[in-house]
Amino acid sequence: MIPGIGHTAVLVGLALTVYAAVAFVLAARGADPRLAASGRRAVIGSFGAAAVGCAAMMISLLTHDFSVLYVAENNASTTPAFISAISLWAALEGSILFWTLLATGWAALVLHRHRDRHRALMTWVGATLATVNAFFFAVMVWPGNPFTLTSPVTAEGSGPNALLQNHPFMALHPPLLYLGYTGLAVPFAFGVAALITKRLDEEWLRIVRRWTLIPWIFLTLGITAGAWWSYEVLGWGGYWAWDPVENAALLPWLTATAFIHSSMVAERRGGLRIWSSALVIATFVLTLVGTFLTRSGVVASVHSFTQSSIGPWFLAAILIALAGALTLLVWRLPELIGGGRPSGTVSRESAFLLNNVLFLGLTFAVLFGTLLPLLVAATSGDTISVGAPWFNTVTVPMFIALLFLMGVGPALPWGTAGWVTVRERFTIPLLAAVLVTAAALAVGLRSWGPLGTLGLAVFVAGIMVDEVVRGAQARARSRDEDPATAVWRLTTRNRRRYGGYTVHVGVLVMAVAVAI
């Protein structure tokens, strides 16, 4: 009975998302708010259907119902309740079910939050999100049904993967990654809606940036948790092996990070609008690429699922999403062309542009190294391996350049920076970096990699500290505040700027830890 309820919920979810997509399109064409409201309710209903499906699977796992094939393959009568519960996302079909729950949750949240604003935009946002979610429900109805029954019913299950039982991060790592992956459909939907409606001003960028930051945080936490788990569990003494599935999570993170930076230039100076739109598209497509690599069985990885028949579905989704979004982008190029250009070689916008070029270079390098073995195998039948030495050789210089720009970029002014400005803002941090590097040499650190990274990290940290001190001093003078109050109000009332600095500090700590 419980599996039947779960399968029915999946069918209902598919029907609701298809209806929602059609209703939103009709609402957009006829400007009918009643249809839009009906579509929004259908999306919320699809979230409820996904929740019922997940609840049915959870009950089946906790009660060891081996009549369900997924339970029989990923559970046993001796499996503890906690491990049984997190087995929901331990294998292919259950992970798609959990993914769909999160995806419909994001869609319901976005449509509810913006139900009385940006109505022309939101109908197309709703249509896009409903279409994406309908795809995942369709995958569960046909090639990846989580409620397939066994016949005859086995008396005992195979039990979960041993890796699931040796570290608590199994309860955190996949859900955090999935929250990031599924949430990145939201900025894609806003990007598609903006291109269709020609609402390509700074307002949509502000909305998209906000809805990109939240899943980006989840994706960052998921990648970090995965690296920690890898370091503690897999037994090879490392945190990042350039495994294809690890790379699949990194790819959308790189382009999302690039968009977060480019959107600031687009908002402030009016430039990089084509670039920003393309990054939103690329980020979503790369989440589909990552899902394809993980769930199709085309790559050998400790993280990937077994061979399955859903690969062609995801490959088709990648091609359709990419072709459709790029067609829209080309169609709207006349409206996107223009805007501000970097006014000088040494300026904040030039630093942000170089930052984006480096992120794009990293994305292409990681994508090339990940897909090359697949392309060679498909075209010639030969087997090749692209390992950590190649990735490190290609990517480390770009990561070091990004580390440098992370400090320099925000400290430069918009427009052209004169020599006096450069000297004032970078001299003291540079001296601090030299002194710390010399001290590290004196205490016995001899490897150039750790020495250079430590010196660069001190330089970047010094720039950020100097920026805070300068801002606090200026505020204290103009508002007659004491230093502590000035620092507190400066940082809390400029959350975008100093929140970014907080993230940069975390990156610096991680960079030094990795190097040393």
What's the pLDDT tens digit per position in 440-495? Answer: 888 877 788 788 888 888 998 888 888 888 888 888 888 888 888 888 888 888 87
As a whole number of angstroms, the distance between CA 49 and CA 63 comes to 21
Residues 322, 342, single domain; the answer is: yes
Contacts of 436 (CB under 8 A, 6+ apart): 454, 455, 458
Q: Could you give the 3-state DSSP secondary structure of residue 68? A: strand
Low-confidence residues in the chain, pLDDT < 50: 236, 304
Q: Could you say which of 113, 148, 183 is where a domain stops?
A: 148
As a whole number of angstroms, the distance between CA 260 and CA 257 comes to 5
CA 265 to chain centre: 21
Domain membership of residue 162 (yes or no) is: no
Domain membership of residue 157 (yes or no) is: no
Residues 397, 469, single domain; the answer is: no
Residues 397, 438, single domain; the answer is: no
Please give the single-letter amino acid code of residue 151.
Answer: S
As a whole number of angstroms, the distance between CA 91 and CA 294 comes to 11
Domain membership of residue 13 (yes or no) is: yes
Q: 31: phi > 0 → left, psi -120 to 50 → alpha, else beta; which?
A: left
Contacts of 346 (CB under 8 A, 6+ apart): 412, 416, 417, 422
Please give the single-letter amino acid code of residue 57.
Answer: M
Residues 108, 213, single domain; the answer is: no
Are 194 and 200 within 8 A, CB to CB?
yes
At residue 241, the pLDDT reads 79
Tokens, residue 152: 């005859």
CA 184 to chain centre: 6
The percent helix, strand, coil of the chain (3-state, each to 5) is: 80, 0, 20
> Considering only CA atoms, which of 516, 420, 424, 427 is closest in space to residue 470?
424
Residues 381, 456, single domain; the answer is: no
Q: How far is CA 112 from CA 33, 105, 126, 435, in A?
A: 14, 11, 10, 54
Q: 307: phi > 0 → left, psi -120 to 50 → alpha, else beta; which?
A: beta
Residues 354, 495, single domain; the answer is: no
As a whole number of angstroms, the distance between CA 342 and CA 349 comes to 6
> Considering only CA atoms, which of 76, 77, 69 is closest in space to residue 94?
69
At residue 236, the pLDDT reads 47
Domain membership of residue 289 (yes or no) is: yes
At residue 193, the pLDDT reads 96
- What is this structure's pTM? 0.92
Burial label, 334 (beta-carbon count in 10 A; 0-12, 13-18, 19+): exposed
Residues 144, 224, single domain; the answer is: no
DSSP designation for 412: S
Please tell me the total number of residues recorded for the chain in this structure.
Answer: 516
As a whole number of angstroms, the distance between CA 437 and CA 427 comes to 15
Residues 225, 355, single domain; the answer is: yes
Domain membership of residue 496 (yes or no) is: yes
> Considering only CA atoms, which of 146, 210, 221 is closest in space to residue 179?
221
Q: Could you say which of 387, 416, 445 is where a domain stops?
A: 416
Strand partners, 68: 149
> Considering only CA atoms, which of 76, 93, 92 is closest in space to residue 84?
76
Residues 192, 300, single domain; the answer is: yes
Are 219 and 252 within 8 A, CB to CB?
yes
As a whole number of angstroms, the distance between CA 357 and CA 378 comes to 30
As a whole number of angstroms, the distance between CA 1 and CA 12 comes to 16
Whether omega for the bond prior to residue 483 falls within 30 degrees of 0, making it cis, is no
Domain encompassing residue 406: 168-416
Are 24 and 35 within 8 A, CB to CB?
yes
Strand partners, 149: 68
At residue 308, the pLDDT reads 67
Q: Which helix (H) or strand (E) holds 269?
A: helix 244-269
As a whole number of angstroms, the distance between CA 137 and CA 143 comes to 11
Half-sphere exposure for 130 (CA within 13 Å, toward CB): 31
Residues 19, 114, single domain; the answer is: yes
State the first-to-last Cα distance of the chain, in angstroms, to the nearest integer. Answer: 56
Tokens, residue 118: 């940006």
The count of other CB atoms within 10 Å of the CB of residue 228 is 15
Domain membership of residue 465 (yes or no) is: yes
As a whole number of angstroms, the distance between CA 132 and CA 425 comes to 47
Residues 252, 394, single domain; the answer is: yes
As a whole number of angstroms, the distance between CA 272 and CA 264 comes to 9
Domain membership of residue 154 (yes or no) is: no
Q: Could you say which of 148, 177, 201 is where a domain stops?
A: 148
Within the chain, how many helices (H) and strands (E) appear?
19, 0
Number of folded domains in the chain? 3
Q: 13: phi > 0 → left, psi -120 to 50 → alpha, else beta; which?
A: alpha
At residue 114, the pLDDT reads 93
As a whole number of angstroms, the distance between CA 500 and CA 464 comes to 10
Residues 501, 431, single domain; the answer is: yes
Domain membership of residue 176 (yes or no) is: yes
